[in-house]
Structure formats: structure tokens, C-alpha cells
Amino acid sequence: MSAGRQLVLEFPHRPALGKIDFLVSDCNMDAVGWIDRWPDWPGPALAVYGPPDCGKTHLAHVWRNRSSAVLISGPELGDRAAPDILGGADSCAVDDADALSDEEALLHLYNHIAEIGGKLLLAGRHPPARWSLKLADLASRVAAAQAVEIRPPDDELLGALLVKLFYDRQLTVSKDVLVYLLARMERSFAAASAIVDALDQLGLAERRGVTVPLARTVLNELETNSDTNGED
């Protein structure tokens, strides 16, 4: 630990995941539109895909609240029976659906939901056609699902996302800090999340507010770490 920095105990922060908190832009408008069309989807399943931290999980929470669906992650499916997963609900959202622990569990869940007239929301990083599925029946069902992409953010959404991420952590920042970051940061959801997290941690460690000099230090450290990790 560097001199002048205090030990920081990490307490989990709770992001705002309501519909009113979701930031809509051209890059995610199609996905939001399909969520709003529920239950009028063309089939039993809808697949939403996009890069890390793009809002897939947030949309899954929004849809769960609207549909009274169960929300579970792909790795958590295990070999559980569909009725056990649903627990009386008729619909389910599966986050990280392209990181399954058991393909048969998702296949049975899909079939059961289709049989009882429910809906299945699948969220993953990649389009369904690129999922590495070994079960042909599951692959065909997933491929037939309506699929919608969340694209990388434009500058307007990236700025709004930074504001939301700072707000979620109860951090106050000036317009100068936002302008500085937007002019220099990688254009991705994951980068915005990493930058805000690093600013929060460094600000706590050094007992400083979020300022342009602090933002400069964080961007330099993140770039250095990225260069180091990229070396052979």
C-alpha cells in the first residue's frame, strides 16, 4: 500500500435497477422495446446480448418486476428441475445464459415454460447463434428465439452512465471531471464501470474528493495496468 493511502474496506454498493433508472439511447432502444412488448413476443423466448456492463442484468431486473418472473444466472441453474426453479411462477430470466452449468436444465426450463404459456428471457454476451451448445434441441430452440443486441454506448449514453454510476456510489462530481473522462476514456460500458470503481476506491484511500487530478491518476493507473497485462 502506497504511503499516504489508508486501508479501504470494501462494502457492496447497491445499484439502482428500476425501470426509471435505465438509461435509454440508440444503442439499447431495440432491447428496451422488446422488453416493453412483453408478453407479445413472437415465441416463448427472447435473447438479449451485448458487451459486459451494458445493462443486460438491469433489463432482466426490469422485466422480472413487470412479469413476476424468476431471475437466475446460467451457472446457478445446475441440474434443478424446471418447477423447482420457477417456484410457482410461469416465466424466468436467465442472466449469463451463455455461461451455462447444465444445458439440459435450460432445455427442460425452456420446454416447461413454453408448455405452461410463460416467457423466457435469456441474457448473454454473445448472439445465440454463437453459443457453444452441445445439445441440438437446445441449440435449435435458442437459435429460433427473437434476438436483440445492445451495442457499445455513444458519447451521450456514456456521459449519462458515468453520472448514474457515480450516483449509485453517492459520489458527487463536477462537469469538469465528466468532460475530462469522456475525452480520454475507452468507449465501453465496462470501462465506465472500472473507472468509477477505481475513483471511488482511490478517493477513499487518499481521503480525497473526485477531481480532475484524481481522474488523471486513475486513468494513468488503469492504462499502465492494461499495458502490463497485455505483455507476453
Domain ranges of the chain: 28-149, 155-230
Q: How confident is the model at residue 152 (pLDDT cuts 50, 70, 90)?
A: confident
pTM for the whole structure = 0.75
CA distances from 3 to 6, 64, 206 (A): 8, 46, 10
Task: Please provide residue 210's backbone torsions phi and psi, each rounded to the nearest 5 degrees.
Answer: -85, 105
Beta strands 45-49 and 120-124 are: parallel
* CB distance 176 to 165 below 8 Å: no
Measured distance CA(75)–CA(84) in Å, rounded: 16
- Residue 58, CA atoms < 13 Å, CB-side half-sphere: 24
Measured distance CA(103)–CA(79) in Å, rounded: 9
Q: How far is CA 27 from the centre of its chain?
A: 14
Task: Look at 19 and 196; give whichever has higher pLDDT.
Answer: 196
Q: How confident is the model at residue 9 (pLDDT cuts 50, 70, 90)?
A: very low
Biggest alpha carbon distance in the chain? 62
* CB distance 55 to 22 below 8 Å: yes
Summarize pLDDT for 199-208 with one digit per residue, the tens: 999 999 998 8
Nearest to 123 by CA among 147, 96, 149: 96
Task: Please provide residue 132's backbone torsions phi and psi, each rounded to the nearest 5 degrees.
Answer: -85, 80
Cell of 76: 446457478
Summarize pLDDT for 157-192 with one digit per residue, the tens: 899 889 989 998 999 899 999 999 999 999 888 899
Nearest to 99 by CA among 59, 133, 135, 150: 133
Cell of 89: 411462477
Summarize pLDDT for 67-108 with one digit per residue, the tens: 999 999 999 998 889 999 999 999 999 999 999 989 999 999
Task: Confirm or reject CATH 3.40.50.300 for domain 28-149, answering yes or no.
Answer: yes
Domain 155-230: give its CATH architecture.
Orthogonal Bundle (1.10)
